[in-house]
Amino acid sequence: MQDPYRILNVAREAGQATIKAAYRELAKQWHPDRNPGDRRAEQRFKQVTQAYELLRDPAKRAQFDRGQIDADGKPQFGFGNFGFGGGRGAQGGRGGAFGGGDGLFEKIFGGGFGQSGAGFDGLRGARGAAQRTRGDDRRCRVEVDFLLAARGGKQRVELGARVLEIDIPPGSKDGSVLRLKGQGGPGSLGGPAGDVLVTIDVRPHERFSLQGKDIHLELPISLPEAVLGAKVTVPTIAGSVRISVPPGSNSGRSLRLKGRGVAVPGAAPGDQIVRLVVTLPEQPDPELDDFVRRWAEKHRYDPRGGLDT
């Protein structure tokens, strides 16, 4: 991978907020869903995601800046760190090959190759101190449709060059995090792999909202339906149903549809709360105006009589 700073077009001293903003803009531009069939866009999206994964992790970013890992997150090994060659080594060692006694080479090999291989005792000690370590956790975000989050289902996730299909649990909320065990960075010396932590971004729905396990919906009804009552069709997350609007229903009245909310495994399903909104015709109707005016003259009442002034 190229330099992640260049891929995201940010300065090396850029803060996390700047890096995140740059990533979101580029990810939106190159996302495969917006560029179907475009291999170049797909490759560019993978590069942008991989660059962000490195720079959003303070520890990995610091390692990259120090040259300890490359842009792909792989360790960088070089003789420069051991004081070979002229000048000062990366650890402060002096001089030429196997130079001065304060270099990292001497610390590892115990001061040289003479004296019955004493230097290799230091190497064996260094190896003996190495331990199996768990791989790094990695993080990513996935945007899902409201209905998928409410009902649960499968969703693709881009992890650098990998694409995983994950299970979105029913009732997933915006900002919730899923842990994919063993899908993160590889462990060292046979240690276990890290995990992937997936943050869920739920796209808002134009009609539904989620509160706990309950689905909420505002339902427009006509004036005759409100006054006289009616059977009307109501959308739910599992399809449309017919409900009865009681006669004399006001705006703000709520009807509860039992079991029509989120079905969480191992628990009773939530309900759907339908809030009625009495809606007048969009176009003026002189006949309706005249009727209401004559009716109001004989049936005066104050709907705000109980309000404090």
Domains along the sequence of the chain with CATH: 79-129 (no CATH), 133-204 (2.60.260.20), 209-282 (2.60.260.20)
Q: What are phi and psi of 32, to 5 degrees?
A: -55, -30
Tokens at 102, concatenated: 């304060």
Find tokens 């176009």 and name the residue.
Answer: 283
Q: What is the DSSP string of 279-295?
A: ---SS--HHHHHHHHHH
Alpha-carbon span 76 to 70, nearest angstrom: 6
Alpha-carbon span 4 to 53, nearest angstrom: 9
Q: Strands of 209-211's sheet, edge to edge?
A: 209-211, 214-221, 272-278, 254-257
Burial of 276 (0-12, 13-18, 19+ CB in 10 A): buried
- Three-class SS of residue 230? strand
Tens of each residue's pLDDT in the chain, 309 residues: 788 998 998 888 888 889 988 888 898 888 887 888 888 888 888 888 888 989 988 888 988 888 888 888 788 754 444 433 333 333 333 344 333 444 443 433 444 444 444 444 444 444 444 688 898 998 999 999 999 999 999 999 888 778 889 999 999 999 999 999 998 888 888 889 999 999 999 999 999 999 999 999 999 999 999 999 999 999 999 999 999 999 999 999 999 999 999 998 888 999 999 999 999 998 888 999 999 999 999 988 888 887 875
Q: What is the pLDDT of residue 58?
A: 87
The model's pTM: 0.56
Pair 165, 156: CB distance under 8 Å: yes
Q: What is the pLDDT of residue 77?
A: 59
